[in-house]
A and B are shown apart, each in its own frame.
Chain A
Amino acid sequence: MSKSFGFDTLGLHAGYTPDDRHGSRAVPIHQTTSYMFNDTEHAAALYNLEVGGHLYTRISNPTIGVLENRMAALEEGVAAVAVATGMSAVFLSILALTSQGDHIVASSQMYGGNINLLEHTMSRFGVTTSFVDPTDHDAIAAAIKPNTKMVFGEVIGNPGLDVMDVSAVAKVAHAAGVPLVIDATLNTPYLMKPLKHGANIVIHSLTKWIGGHGIAMGGVIVDGGNFDWGQNDRFPTLTQPHFAFQGVNLWEEFGPAAFAMRVRSEGMYNIGPTLSPTNAFHILQGIETLGMRMDRHMANTAELVAFLKNHDGVAWVNHPSLPDHSCHDVAMRQMPKGAGSIVTMGIKGGRMASQAFIESVELASHLANVGDARTLVIHPGSTTHSHISADAMKAAGLTDDLIRISVGLEDINDIKADFNRAIKIAQKKTSAKGS
């Protein structure tokens, strides 16, 4: 039998071998805080990173470990660390590379939570960020300073839906000796694997398409193992003696997995945003069908975009698959299977009409999430992105009337009927108020 496996096979099998004692075919939920040591030597060895295994669930857990191995396999990374949420994955990634006085170059067109973390939280601890347009490669190059530790962005910006040319930005970052860290939540490894395009670290909110059922929070950091942390003294957290583990030099002792080891050996030890094993199990159920679900998400998205584009009541529609989208060519080259299932639009009549639309849908759900099996709608300007500044909103491509749609897996005719009805109601309400 071949030993190389396709995406769907890895989604079902990677990271798990049924154990001899019970033979459980499904991944068991190891709902435990801690693990029996064989003897004192075994305990000491686990605490000192000498052997594989688990010592305390804050650090690692067998069920979470399967999820980590499966995500590493799907993203083609050398190692992964799963955490409680996507935001904690972003935070631990920053923590692994930066110290007081360091600097980050980040996309100005990102999820509001990412922008807030960088602008308002990290800055309080002396880590500053320059926000730049991710499609302006000269601006990225110009923003990198000697103390810059990463370039950070999203493949598909949320909710502006700009698409980063990952290969081009990776070249810019690498020329300056800096890794490219990518939040790939909106594309999933099924649509695009950023590591294959030159990115070095990939982050996901597992809560979204990867889990897919809207029942479990989670995040993951995948280490591409493709960045030379030892090329100079820029990354002391990886190349100088660790504060613990007898001063281990992670770059020398763990090589390509040094970054992931830092995340686990500091982020999970000292901060501890641990994923619950039960949530890891739920997310694994989602991964088992990720490929098939993404195909359906893409098919429904294509049909809905065409429907909205031709609808009289719709002022504008935005999706990277549309030929007039500014990043259309990049999107098609990087993501030939589809450019994600987030669509944004405005209803004729402006913000009031858009709000009326959201309040009128019946099948779609009005809530703060994306990537659910169900179709979701929200007005980001008053919700998910309401805490960022007006300038940041503008930079993120957030207009007053913008509705964000996360296209689900329902029968597409039912989604279209629901939207058609809600658009008509919204316009009636708006014209009634306007008359």
Chain B
Amino acid sequence: MQISINDADVFVSTGGRVADEHAPVLLFLHGSGQTHLSWLLQARFFANRGWSVMAPDFPGHGLSGGAPLTAIETMADWCHTLIMAAGHKKVTVIGHSQGGLVAMELARRHPEYVAGIGLISLALAIPVNPQLISMAEDNEPAAFDAMVTWGHGHDGAFHDHPMPGNSHIFMGKRIMASNPEGTLAVDLKACAAYADGEQAAASITQPAMVILAGDDSMTPCKQGEALAAAIPHAELVKIEHAGHMLPIERGDDVNRALRRLFEQTGA
């Protein structure tokens, strides 16, 4: 569906279904340089099981217009505006990587709108190599290559995708390349600049789940475990033999875990 936010057209995937207005709402937030397609294996799955799914493309990403937002805090406020524009009062928010930082910040800034929080492939902070930012600023394909190749575990790197015939690596590169020039750099700089992870994590009072990938080389498990420890009562789920792009590499396992969270949140 299309929603206008701050005078820009925003695309929000509903997983192919328009849920009834009483259905509990799931807000899925994608990571740096990504789009709603990060949730290929979650959006349709949950939309067809009674949830109302919202998986937006952030401004300047995928099918959304506007310019990319430059700070995690701004993205969190933008999500708040989106929730209100869609007419919702409470959502369970699920964030992947950068989307996880936004989800935490949304829960800190607008806790009354958040019923629960799922954080996937995330740590308290996402430091970014300045060289990668520089390559992304110059829109060098090498930046996409680095993100995509290091973003996948063994199976993904060898193009072994759960959807028959699909390639993790080249799908990832195409998604990044389809965004306007410079989008990835804006995202990476926003991640690198965000320093409030510990405070945001500590402020979460809603049911929370942290889902980590055993072979994540971008937000290593150890750092993800520190995040889980910093969130009061967070459930930690570790999925082995997968990389940073966990939702697409291990869709079934991620969905099984998230479903448990959604049952807790009443979402």
Q: How many residues of B contact A (CB 8 A)?
A: 43
B residues within 8 A CB of A253?
13, 15-16, 40, 43-44
Contact of A48 among B35, B48, B157 (CB under 8 A): B48
Q: Is B133 an interface residue (CB 8 A)?
A: no
User: Is there contact, CB below 8 Å, between B170 and A78?
Assistant: yes
Q: Is A50 an interface residue (CB 8 A)?
A: yes
User: Is there contact, CB below 8 Å, between B160 and A69?
Assistant: yes
A256-B174 contact given A5-B157, A48-B48, CB 8 Å threshold: yes
User: Is there contact, CB below 8 Å, between A17 and B164?
Assistant: no
User: Is there contact, CB below 8 Å, between A226 and B174?
Assistant: yes
B residues within 8 A CB of A16?
158, 160
User: Is there contact, CB below 8 Å, between B167 and A77?
Assistant: yes
User: Is there contact, CB below 8 Å, between B165 and A68?
Assistant: yes
User: Is there contact, CB below 8 Å, between B37 and A73?
Assistant: no
Q: Which residue of A lies closest to B16 (CB)?
A: A248
For residue B84, give the distance in angstroms from its CB to the closest CB of chain A.
23
A residues within 8 A CB of B165?
60, 65, 68-69, 72, 79-82, 260, 264
For residue B13, give the distance in angstroms from its CB to the closest CB of chain A.
6
Q: Is A232 an interface residue (CB 8 A)?
A: no
Q: Is B155 an interface residue (CB 8 A)?
A: yes
Of B110-118, B144-152, B200-208, the segment with at least 4 beta carbons within 8 Å of chain A is B144-152
For residue B218, give the distance in angstroms from its CB to the closest CB of chain A.
12
Cα distance A64–B37 when bound, in Å?
24
Chain A's interface size range is: 35 or more
Cα distance A278–B150 when bound, in Å?
34
A73-B169 contact given A5-B157, A15-B158, A51-B41, CB 8 Å threshold: yes
Interface string of A250-278 (1 = CB under 8 A from B): 00111111001000100000000000000
Q: Is B229 an interface residue (CB 8 A)?
A: no
Interface residues of B in 117-160 (CB under 8 A from A): 145, 149-150, 152, 154-155, 157-160
Contact of A53 among B15, B40, B62, B162 (CB under 8 A): B162
Q: Is B194 an interface residue (CB 8 A)?
A: no
Cα distance A44–B45 when bound, in Å?
10
User: Is there contact, CB below 8 Å, between B161 and A52?
Assistant: yes
Contact of B158 among A13, A50, A51, A248 (CB under 8 A): A13
Q: Is A45 an interface residue (CB 8 A)?
A: yes
A225-B174 contact given A50-B45, A51-B252, A230-B63, CB 8 Å threshold: yes
For residue B136, give the distance in angstroms from its CB to the closest CB of chain A.
18
Q: Is A400 an interface residue (CB 8 A)?
A: no
Contact of B11 among A53, A73, A76, A252 (CB under 8 A): A252
Q: Is B90 an interface residue (CB 8 A)?
A: no
User: Is there contact, CB below 8 Å, between B149 and A4?
Assistant: yes
> Which A residues form the contact surface with B (CB < 8 A)?
2-5, 10, 13-17, 41, 44-45, 48-54, 60-61, 64-65, 68-70, 72-73, 76-82, 224-226, 228, 230, 245-249, 252-257, 260, 264
A-B interface, 8 closest residue pairs, ranked by CB to CB distance from nearest: A52-B162, A68-B165, A60-B164, A225-B174, A65-B164, A72-B167, A256-B174, A73-B159
| Contacts A248-B16, A255-B178 supplied; 13 other A-B pairs, CB < 8 Å | A3-B149, A4-B145, A4-B149, A10-B158, A15-B160, A72-B170, A77-B170, A78-B171, A226-B177, A252-B11, A254-B40, A260-B165, A264-B165
